[in-house]
Structure 1
Amino acid sequence: MNFEFTDEQQAIRDAVADVAKRFDDHYWSEKEDKEEFPFEFHRAMAEAGWLGITMPEQYGGAGLGVTEAAIMMNEVAKHGGGSGAVSTIHINLFGPHPIVVFGTDEQKAEWIPRLVSGEDQVCFGVTEPDAGLDTTRIKTFARKVDGGYIINGRKLWTSTAQVASKILVLARTTPIEQCKKPTDGMTIFYTDLDRSKIEVKRIRKMGRAAVDSNATFIDDYFVPDGHRIGEEGKGFSYLLHSLNPERIIVAAEAIGIGQDALQRAARYAQERVVFGRQIGQNQGIQHPLAENWIELEAALNMAMKAAWLYDADKPCGAEANAAKFIGARAAYKACETAVLTHGGLGYSREYQVERLLREVLVYRIAPVSEQLILSFIAEKVLGQKKSY
């Protein structure tokens, strides 16, 4: 068992850090204040070739695994950009996975190079107002017509839809009551995001203001047959292929934000002098920071184990979910400790840690809740009866 990064993996970390460090705290604070998408950061990552790290080499990608993607996203998160930085490029790593695995050669050749180069940006239309985590209950429906489908429905939390040119949509093509299993009868489409026909309404939220989240309204939208991914009715099973990679990458991102907050707190503890000595000399400050480091390192090891299992084509559902659970919690705790370490200044925007705390909270909520993860572990690992 070897925990050391390969030379290639270390080179990824160093190269990604070089890009991320070009965008300082002022840049990210300004993007948040203006609620403006980080186009410059997205362009820099595209030009450096990082948008295609998991894409096949024949289509312009690097053809690397989830391990390398997790390393990359952890590094992106560690340099002040928080969830704004990682969300700018996050969807490229797992969203198009159904295209890579189940798309035709023509679809891959047409779509993937444009995602790798950054010419196209894709948003993810899966979650719905009345379905939540119970994806089988989605109501968006694609009705078959000559040459394609007419889609009607509502999607919620569609990130980057304000700037995306493409949308990946999960829709029912068979009513649930006509299916043998609730997971049957759903189909994935990858198509143009035509705002003249699809309404995109921004959701104001607690953090990550630079990267938009939206309610999306699709009414009588025609999608040609050539924009369907794989077989009709198999969409849910296709979607499952991207769930474990997403949880692993989300864990790595959250941990990176926690590591950034911890380093900021540790520096401040060395610099801040109260009653004639550094506050970091006090165990009341030292011990919480030390606990943060322990918890973040433990979470990172779990995330890397899950990534290794996935890349080795081994079962990793429990590890991927556990990494997301403990990674998000450890990161949240580290950001909270960073604010408290800064005292009153931690509440100010100048020191950035309040922003990191607001932004890291989402990782405890999405893309899957802590409660559902615990239920999954109880059932799949500990043999308990299904509770949901």
Structure 2
Amino acid sequence: MAPIMAPRLDCSREIPRLTYTLTLMTGLAAIAAAARMGGTEMAPVVLLLVALIGFLALGMIRAPLWGWAAAVGVFTWLATSGCSGLLAWIAWVPFLALAALSIPSVRRNLVVAPVFARIRKILPKVSDTESQALEAGTVGFDAELFSGTPDWDKLQSIPPIELTPEEQAFLDGPTEELCRLISDWQIRHNLHEIPENIWDFVKAHGFLGMLISKEHGGLGFSPQAQSLILGKIASRSPDVVTIVMVPNSLGPGELIEKYGTDEQKHYYLPRLAKGEEVPCFSLTGPTSGSDAATMRDIGHVTRGTYQGKDTLGVRLSWDKRYITLGPNATLVGLAFRLFDQDNLLGKGEDVGITLALIPASHPGVNIGRRHLPSGAAFPNGPNWGNDVFIPMDWVIGGETMAGHGWRMLMECLSAGRAISLPSSATAGAKMMLRVTSAYGRIRKQFGLPVSRMEGVEEPLVRIVEAAYVNEAARAMTAAMVSRGERPSVISALMKYQTTEKMRRAVNDAMDIHGGRGICDGPANYLQSAYQMVPVGITVEGANILTRTLITFAQGALRSHPYLYREVQAAQDTDRKRGLDAFEDAFNNHIAFSLSNATGGFVHNLTGGAFVAAPAGALRMSHWYRQLGRASRSFAFVADLTVALLGGGLKTKQKITGRMADALSELYMLAAILKRYDDDGRPAGDEYIVDLAAQNALYRFQEAIGGTIDNFPVRLARPLMRVVVFPLGRRFKPASDVQGHLVARHALQPGDARDRLTRHIFVSKDVNDPTGILEVTLEKVIAAEPIEKRLEKAIRDGVVRRYHGIDWFAEAEAKGVITAAEADQLREVEQLVARVIAVDHFDPEELKPHYVKLGHNARGAESLAAE
């Protein structure tokens, strides 16, 4: 394990810290001395109060140890002045201990070295796969949240949504055209396959090579552009976006671009970019899903014959399943564990996880029959091989990268997981908002649009919140990846948070649509999303795993400012070098912990009144202060959790899951505040921000509270409660009034609704199941004044509305409406009838017509064994 270098002294922070310490000590000592010399009965109370304030302030500013010693000495002198006896002498023990520990050599010998030795003895070895996962990617704004003192300048430095003219033209041109080509019903029901014209279109326009550089024939688009393009396609078809997403996510293209040999880049990348090769990547097997370290797929380095020549290569045996694009792939990416018994590569016998590229037509490669995930139409299936020889040139990166496969996968996954599924989940939430807000306004019950009923308004507002929050976090995360970051912790929380919010949004949309949503057919625009939700929840790390084992369990090590440095130092094979690095990290860690304990207590006691907000935040200053306050609480609980649970943290998955939820809410809130600024602070959007921020802080409070209430070390619970909840749990969910303000602002056609659903496909074609919604919505609103006059006439008994009566003609004849208005209402009625109609079929149409093929399929015994 590579040693961690101690950071340089940051004078810009240390000099002010020393100045603050001296100034604070002088002022508080003067106040205390004045009170003591005054001789009043209140002097002891004032002295204790000043001591408390002084110690809290010293902790918050992370005062050096000598500052604490001096402060304790001053207050001990003031407290014992005029006293004598043994107790007076004992009172000086804390000062003497702190003064001694202020001497670096004493502190090192008495505290640091024994702690270092103890940790080296009990600390479980970080495995190679764990180490590679921790070191993969970069740390983003998550580190600011773990620090307890977020730097708002870093948040504001993340760029807003920025596309080049070429990227914008592609989004508005080929992407829009692709969406118009798609027939969701045709794909997922009639064909149960992506039709050839769609495959041809995405290949011809370079959709499969968005992340491949222009140098190698790809589009070279930014992650932000990829995210928006994927999202737009996802809003039209979850199946089609899958065939575009996979080559642009964890697939051979990115792996070759980043790690491949020059020959691999020059040969494969142009072919992948043009769609001449369709790739898949085979990682998951029957026994190795989330736990890839248990992979049973193996290869042995050996010599064999390839194209008639004696060649150094690998003899492989593998069995993979759930491989997206696998049935259509011409190029199979494969992860396996490589062994080299004769040490031909010079890397020992167990080389490690390795990645290779194998043409699907290569002898011994078996592409199996298709899986059927949630009724989806995108190709997905198993592949396997037994005793298949491949040349070493087919290992991605050649001999040099053999054994580095896990790091390669983690690096690529940290970026891909931050872009692919969050983009489609965000688009899904926005599409649910677009169609449900229209349907809720068009559909009437009890004489009024259902969207104006309080019971329906509640889930509608949840959809608004999900769409706003997901888009805020998606845009911010994609911007970070676009500027070169690979935020591994953020990518994990983004995947599970956005897909869970989409799941809730889809369920809410289904509830509002009622029977209209559950009756499938060409007119049903909800079913594909509803069927595909479990896929998004499950792939690229099931949400249960991502939440409980990755986001916080790994994030605590990855994003904590000192913890991983301490672990690395303790495991350094050079003891002296390790002790030096550990001492620096340990000393800072102690100050960090005291700062968050004292800072958390003060900020929670004062409601965040003294937390700094960014200049110009104006109306949002309150939410920035609450975010800073919550970050202090999170950092304190996170630090104590890791310190007390240590290596047992992985088994306390309910605790780590709640802490992951807490971290996620803080990150999402930061994204919400940033989006509001990036959007130019539009009038009315503050209602959405207020509601989303209030709910985020409430959910944060419940997650942290759940951690404290169930913390395995019972003695720590009172301390946590005092620091985090000195005045109880004060955050409440957003009120009904806030929800009504959001509904009134966001659900009417106009700028707010368009902004909330930006970058998705919106049709105005009356023959399209979503297009007719948009057209009907406009006409319903335009006809509303006329309809009100007619409704009054019906209530008054002037006009009768029953089947068999032309009530429009009757209203016209009685002067309630004009002839033109009658025609307008007839058109609206016909459109509304089409909107609320559900499909029906001849029974013969619904019977399956399967054709049994037997192509390249394993027998029943093999499938049963799997």
Q: TM-score by structure 1 length?
A: 0.90
Question: Would you say 1:335 and 2:515 are equivalent positions?
Answer: no
- CA distance in 2 between counterparts of 1:217 and 1:51 reads 25
**Alpha-carbon shift at residue 336 of structure 1 (Å):** 1.2
**Alpha-carbon shift at residue 4 of structure 1 (Å):** 4.2
**Alpha-carbon shift at residue 105 of structure 1 (Å):** 1.2
Please give the secondary structure, in 1, of the residue aligned with 2:194: coil
Given that 1:302 and 1:322 are in contact with CA atoms closer than 8 Å, whether structure 2 keeps it comes out as no
Per-residue CA distance 1:98-124 (angstroms, 9 max, x = gap): 111111111111101111111110111
CA RMSD of aligned residues (A): 2.3
Please give the secondary structure, in 1, of the residue aligned with 2:296: coil
> Which of 319-328 and 252-261 deviates more?
252-261
**Alpha-carbon shift at residue 254 of structure 1 (Å):** 1.6
Given that 1:296 and 1:327 are in contact with CA atoms closer than 8 Å, whether structure 2 keeps it comes out as no
- CA distance in 2 between counterparts of 1:224 and 1:250 reads 34
The aligned amino acid for 1:62 is L
1:40 matched residue in structure 2:
197
2:373 matched residue in structure 1:
205
1:153-232 map, 5 Å = 153-174=318-339, 185-194=352-361, 197-199=364-366, 200-208=368-376, 210-230=377-397, 231-232=401-402
- CA distance in 2 between counterparts of 1:289 and 1:229 reads 48
2:179 matched residue in structure 1:
21
**Alpha-carbon shift at residue 359 of structure 1 (Å):** 0.5
1:168-317 map, 5 Å = 168-174=333-339, 185-194=352-361, 197-199=364-366, 200-208=368-376, 210-230=377-397, 231-248=401-418, 249-314=420-485, 316-317=487-488
Please give the secondary structure, in 2, of the residue aligned with 1:185: strand
Unaligned runs of 5+ in 2: 1-155, 304-310, 557-637, 652-866
**Alpha-carbon shift at residue 16 of structure 1 (Å):** 4.9
The aligned amino acid for 1:223 is I
> Which of 304-313 and 121-130 deviates more?
304-313
| Structure 2 CA distance for partners of 1:302 and 1:114, relative to 1, 3 Å | same
- CA distance in 1 between counterparts of 2:454 and 2:379 reads 41
The aligned amino acid for 2:414 is N
1:86 matched residue in structure 2:
241
| Structure 2 CA distance for partners of 1:314 and 1:59, relative to 1, 3 Å | closer
- CA distance in 2 between counterparts of 1:14 and 1:154 reads 42
> Which of 68-77 and 295-304 deviates more?
295-304
- CA distance in 2 between counterparts of 1:137 and 1:363 reads 24
Runs of 4 or more consecutive aligned structure 1 residues displaced over 4 Å after TM superposition: none
Given that 1:91 and 1:123 are in contact with CA atoms closer than 8 Å, whether structure 2 keeps it comes out as yes
Please give the secondary structure, in 2, of the residue aligned with 1:221: strand
1:149 matched residue in structure 2:
314
- CA distance in 2 between counterparts of 1:17 and 1:282 reads 37
1:359 matched residue in structure 2:
532
- CA distance in 1 between counterparts of 2:363 and 2:456 reads 55
Given that 1:71 and 1:252 are in contact with CA atoms closer than 8 Å, whether structure 2 keeps it comes out as yes
Per-residue CA distance 1:107-161 (angstroms, 9 max, x = gap): 1111011111111101111001111111111111112222222211110101111
- CA distance in 2 between counterparts of 1:323 and 1:237 reads 21
1:98 matched residue in structure 2:
255
- CA distance in 2 between counterparts of 1:205 and 1:53 reads 26
1:52 matched residue in structure 2:
209
Question: Would you say 1:387 and 2:650 are equivalent positions?
Answer: yes
Per-residue CA distance 1:211-233 (angstroms, 9 max, x = gap): 12212221222222221112211
Question: Larger % of strand: which?
Answer: 1
Given that 2:429 and 2:502 are in contact with CA atoms closer than 8 Å, whether structure 1 keeps it comes out as yes
| Structure 2 CA distance for partners of 1:293 and 1:41, relative to 1, 3 Å | farther
Question: Would you say 1:376 and 2:556 are equivalent positions?
Answer: no
Per-residue CA distance 1:324-351 (angstroms, 9 max, x = gap): 1111011111111121111112101131
The aligned amino acid for 1:202 is R
Question: Would you say 1:124 and 2:281 are equivalent positions?
Answer: yes
The aligned amino acid for 1:192 is P
> Which of 161-170 and 145-154 deviates more?
145-154
- CA distance in 2 between counterparts of 1:16 and 1:75 reads 11
Q: TM-score by structure 2 length?
A: 0.42
Q: Which has the higher contact order (CA 8 A, sep 6+)?
A: 1
Please give the secondary structure, in 1, of the residue aligned with 2:324: coil
Given that 2:160 and 2:476 are in contact with CA atoms closer than 8 Å, whether structure 1 keeps it comes out as no
> Which of 118-127 and 210-219 deviates more?
210-219
Please give the secondary structure, in 2, of the residue aligned with 1:154: strand
- CA distance in 2 between counterparts of 1:142 and 1:155 reads 14
> Which of 111-120 and 194-203 deviates more?
194-203
1:111 matched residue in structure 2:
268
The aligned amino acid for 1:32 is R
- CA distance in 2 between counterparts of 1:12 and 1:326 reads 29
Please give the secondary structure, in 2, of the residue aligned with 1:149: strand
Per-residue CA distance 1:52-74 (angstroms, 9 max, x = gap): 22111111112222222112111
Please give the secondary structure, in 1, of the residue aligned with 2:456: helix
Unaligned runs of 5+ in 1: none
Given that 1:19 and 1:45 are in contact with CA atoms closer than 8 Å, whether structure 2 keeps it comes out as no
- CA distance in 1 between counterparts of 2:175 and 2:512 reads 26
| Structure 2 CA distance for partners of 1:100 and 1:40, relative to 1, 3 Å | same
**Alpha-carbon shift at residue 257 of structure 1 (Å):** 2.1
**Alpha-carbon shift at residue 315 of structure 1 (Å):** 5.3
**Alpha-carbon shift at residue 19 of structure 1 (Å):** 2.4
| Structure 2 CA distance for partners of 1:357 and 1:184, relative to 1, 3 Å | farther
The aligned amino acid for 1:234 is H
Please give the secondary structure, in 1, of the residue aligned with 2:327: coil
Given that 2:299 and 2:337 are in contact with CA atoms closer than 8 Å, whether structure 1 keeps it comes out as yes
Please give the secondary structure, in 1, of the residue aligned with 2:323: coil
Given that 2:426 and 2:474 are in contact with CA atoms closer than 8 Å, whether structure 1 keeps it comes out as no
2:227 matched residue in structure 1:
70
**Alpha-carbon shift at residue 174 of structure 1 (Å):** 2.6
- CA distance in 1 between counterparts of 2:501 and 2:394 reads 41
Given that 2:301 and 2:339 are in contact with CA atoms closer than 8 Å, whether structure 1 keeps it comes out as no
**Alpha-carbon shift at residue 293 of structure 1 (Å):** 2.0
- CA distance in 2 between counterparts of 1:195 and 1:213 reads 20
- CA distance in 2 between counterparts of 1:243 and 1:207 reads 26
Question: Among the aligned pairs, what percent are the same residue?
Answer: 20
Q: How many residues align?
A: 379
- CA distance in 2 between counterparts of 1:12 and 1:319 reads 28
